């Protein structure tokens, strides 16, 4: 079995106990990673603290140069990184390779963004010189989920390092391998030892020890609402800032005048990418009653044509991340059947043959979902699309905003006024019209309304989460 080490202060660190990493396409163990606890977290945080005294003083151009070199190394190793990401997450190979490209893009983008990230001067009066400057927090803690390990690593680490912070990251126990590989590449790029540490292990132990550590200055968390609450409490105890990127129950809203040639593939891809295990998955389809039947029929056809198989065979749909996740999704389907919803496509686990012991599930379409039922309200995190019809734009807005979440939304219409009205009225961090997602969207500020979280990552906005502003006042 392959033993992979944590990266602390530029060194490989092992622990006596380990955590197994499975290939969800086969159910087989592919690696063992360290089961870090408070001792390793302490080492990592103190390494980051020591490094931060130097790193914050490195000239912006030199920091940017190292980040650009890091981006080049990620591009050089794109195929290896993509292969590893596909293996540990179950996502189709070409999606994983694309994730590697986006990972490189984050480091390029933030290298450039930080070089033009200036403070301002404030013209109070003739006798005073006032200016603002951005300063790093110091040591930043990062806890990330298993669905997009490389992309989320990059979107949180790139701006943090660019602003002069030093980082300790804990990936999810299910998919820690690419984060560890990236930490080694960062050293090869010339990042000082200790500036970026990756500690593995369980959330309740490694994650809790990191987010509860007395010497961190900021937390960036991406994951579920439930764990987000725990982390926000840990941050509140020590009065440090936290960015929460949490879950979603995002709607695709299809009006009667929508261009179905665009809407059908848009809606299908929004729920099948990463087998629906995406925070911004378009997991609810709100459709005008006049086009309901035709749209449902076309999605049924599209689902019937989806190719399903192991990540490395690079088809459209891979497995879910774990047996536990598949059971959770299936329990939503049982509940929906009991609530009078109609399963019009899929609905079952897939086993045997090419599916072997992997955690596969059919793409599933459920019609006439009560918007107030669990399937209409809760994040399922699987390839399951819940359909609800609406009568008019007011009802569409009411249903769209009728959950606790507000991460993203898609609107499909040819009418300019409907499009803009929806952008204004839907409570979500990103609203797309006649498209969904933005191929990674490195440049676009991203984050939640309501329980989808607070703070923003991505885009130039993302730099601000990793810096604090200081005002200097000089009497002349
Ligand atoms: P999760 O269960 O909340 O776990 C996220 C991370 O938190 C993992 O690294 C986990 O470690 C760690 N963790 C668990 N308990 C902890 C604790 N008590 N203290 C500190 N850390 C702890 O989420 P997940 O199952 O990995 O990912 C799925 C969720 O992430 C979904 O809700 C999804 O919507 C959300 N998500 C949001 C975004 C976004 O940008 N808004 C993006 C992707 C995913 P272990 O797993 O190792 O225990
Ligand atoms: Mg987990």
Question: Residue of the nearest CA to atom 22 in ligand 1?
Answer: 203
**Residue 279 designated active-site:** yes
Indicate if ligand 1 lies below 6 Å from the C-beta of 457: no
CA of 399 from ligand 1 middle (Å) equals 27
**Residue 32 designated active-site:** no
**pLDDT tier, 323 (very low <50, low <70, confident <90, very high otherwise):** very high
Indicate if ligand 1 lies below 6 Å from the C-beta of 204: yes
**What is the value of pTM for the model shown?**
0.97
Indicate if ligand 1 lies below 6 Å from the C-beta of 81: no
- According to the model, what pLDDT value does residue 137 have? 98
Question: Residue of the nearest CA to atom 28 in ligand 1?
Answer: 223
Question: Residue of the nearest CA to atom 18 in ligand 1?
Answer: 204
Indicate if ligand 1 lies below 6 Å from the C-beta of 406: no
Write out pLDDT tens, residues 436-460: 998 889 999 999 999 999 999 999 9
Mean pLDDT over residues 346-360, rounded? 96
Beta bridge partners of 245: 222, 453
Q: Listing from the earlier edge strand, what are the strands of the sheet with 11-13?
A: 11-13, 6-8, 196-198, 166-170, 139-143, 218-222, 242-245, 453-454
CB 218 within 8 A of CB 241: yes
Best residue among 205, 223, 237 to mutate for probing ligand 1's pocket (most ligand atoms within 8 Å of CB) is 223
Mean pLDDT over residues 424-430, rounded? 98
Choose the catalytic residue: 85, 173, 174, 245: 245
CA of 70 from ligand 2 middle (Å) equals 28
Question: Residue of the nearest CA to atom 15 in ligand 1?
Answer: 203
- According to the model, what pLDDT value does residue 340 have? 85
- According to the model, what pLDDT value does residue 1 have? 63
Pairwise CA distance, residues 229 & 226, whole Å: 5
Choose the catalytic residue: 36, 166, 167, 279: 279
Pairwise CA distance, residues 442 & 405, whole Å: 22
* Model confidence at 366: pLDDT above 70: yes
- According to the model, what pLDDT value does residue 339 have? 84
Write out pLDDT tens, residues 245-261: 999 999 999 999 999 99
Pairwise CA distance, residues 16 & 3, whole Å: 11
Nearest atom in ligand 1 to the alpha carbon of residue 208 is 19
DSSP state of 434: S
Write out pLDDT tens, residues 211-241: 999 999 999 999 999 999 999 999 999 999 9
CB 61 within 8 A of CB 30: no
CA of 57 from ligand 1 middle (Å) equals 33
Indicate if ligand 1 lies below 6 Å from the C-beta of 272: no
CA of 224 from ligand 2 middle (Å) equals 9
Best residue among 22, 227, 232, 246 to mutate for probing ligand 1's pocket (most ligand atoms within 8 Å of CB) is 227
Question: Residue of the nearest CA to atom 48 in ligand 1?
Answer: 203
Best residue among 203, 246, 407 to mutate for probing ligand 1's pocket (most ligand atoms within 8 Å of CB) is 203
CA of 285 from ligand 2 middle (Å) equals 27
CB 178 within 8 A of CB 153: yes
Mean pLDDT over residues 65-93, rounded? 98
Q: Which helix (H) or strand (E) holds 258?
A: none
Residues ≥6 apart with Cβ < 8 Å to 192: 10, 51, 54, 55
Beta bridge partners of 385: 365
Indicate if ligand 1 lies below 6 Å from the C-beta of 440: no
Nearest atom in ligand 1 to the alpha carbon of residue 172 is 9
Nearest atom in ligand 1 to the alpha carbon of residue 447 is 41
H/E/C letters for each residue in 82-128? Answer: HHHHHHHHCCCHHHHHHHHHHHHHHHHHHHHHHHCCCCCECCCCCCE
Which alpha helices (H) appear in 360-440, and where do they start and end? 374-377, 393-400, 416-425
- According to the model, what pLDDT value does residue 440 have? 85
Pairwise CA distance, residues 433 & 449, whole Å: 18
Q: What is the mean pLDDT of the chain?
A: 97
**Token pair listed for 160:** 């943090």
Indicate if ligand 1 lies below 6 Å from the C-beta of 227: yes
Indicate if ligand 1 lies below 6 Å from the C-beta of 211: yes
The structural domains of the chain, ordered by start, are 2-246+452-475 (3.40.605.10), 251-441 (3.40.309.10)
* Model confidence at 120: pLDDT above 90: yes
Nearest atom in ligand 1 to the alpha carbon of residue 446 is 40
Write out pLDDT tens, residues 158-200: 999 999 999 999 999 999 999 999 999 999 999 999 999 999 9
- According to the model, what pLDDT value does residue 197 have? 99
């Amino acid at each position: 079995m392959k033993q992979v080490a944590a990266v602390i202060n530029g060194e490989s660190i092992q622990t006596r106990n380990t955590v197994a990493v499975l290939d969800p396409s086969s159910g087989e163990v592919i690696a063992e990673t360290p089961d870090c606890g408070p001792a390793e977290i302490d080492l990592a945080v103190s390494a980051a603290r020591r490094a931060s005294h130097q790193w914050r003083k490195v000239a912006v151009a030199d920091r940017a140069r190292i980040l650009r070199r890091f981006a080049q190394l990620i591009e050089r190793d794109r195929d290896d990184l993509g292969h590893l990401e596909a293996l540990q997450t179950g996502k189709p190979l070409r999606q994983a390779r694309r994730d590697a490209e986006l990972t490189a893009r984050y480091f390029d983008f933030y290298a450039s963004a930080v070089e033009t990230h200036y403070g301002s001067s404030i013209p109070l009066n003739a006798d005073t010189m006032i200016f603002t400057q951005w300063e790093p927090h110091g040591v930043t803690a990062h806890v990330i989920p298993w669905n997009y390990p490389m992309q989320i690593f990059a979107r949180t680490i790139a701006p943090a390092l660019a602003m002069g912070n030093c980082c300790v990251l804990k990936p999810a126990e299910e998919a820690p391998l690419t984060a560890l590989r990236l930490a080694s590449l960062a050293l090869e790029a010339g990042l000082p030892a200790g500036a970026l540490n990756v500690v593995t292990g369980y959330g309740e132990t490694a994650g809790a020890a990191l987010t509860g550590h007395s010497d961190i200055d900021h937390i960036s968390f991406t994951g579920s609402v439930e764990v987000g609450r725990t982390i926000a409490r840990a941050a509140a105890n020590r009065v440090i800032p936290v960015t929460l990127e949490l879950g979603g129950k995002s709607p695709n809203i299809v009006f009667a005048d929508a261009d179905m040639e665009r809407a059908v593939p848009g809606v299908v891809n929004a729920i099948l990418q990463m087998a629906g295990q995406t925070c911004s998955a378009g997991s609810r389809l709100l459709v005008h009653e006049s086009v309901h039947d035709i749209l449902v029929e076309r999605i049924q056809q599209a689902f019937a044509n989806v190719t399903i198989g192991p990540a490395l065979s690079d088809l459209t749909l891979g497995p879910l991340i774990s047996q536990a996740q598949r059971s959770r999704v299936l329990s939503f389907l049982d509940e929906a059947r009991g609530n009078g919803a109609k399963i019009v496509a899929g609905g079952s686990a897939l086993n045997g043959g090419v599916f072997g012991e992997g955690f596969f599930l059919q793409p599933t379409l459920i019609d006439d979902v009560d918007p107030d039922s669990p399937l209409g309200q809760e994040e399922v995190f699987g390839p399951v699309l819940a359909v609800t019809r609406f009568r008019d734009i007011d009802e569409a807005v009411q249903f769209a905003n009728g959950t606790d979440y507000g991460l993203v939304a898609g609107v499909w219409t040819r009418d300019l006024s409907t499009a803009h009205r929806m952008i204004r009225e839907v409570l979500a961090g990103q609203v797309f019209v006649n498209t969904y997602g933005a191929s990674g969207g490195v440049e676009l500020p991203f984050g939640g309304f309501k329980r989808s979280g607070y703070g923003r990552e991505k885009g130039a906005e993302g730099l601000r989460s990793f810096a604090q502003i200081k005002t200097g006042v000089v009497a002349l």
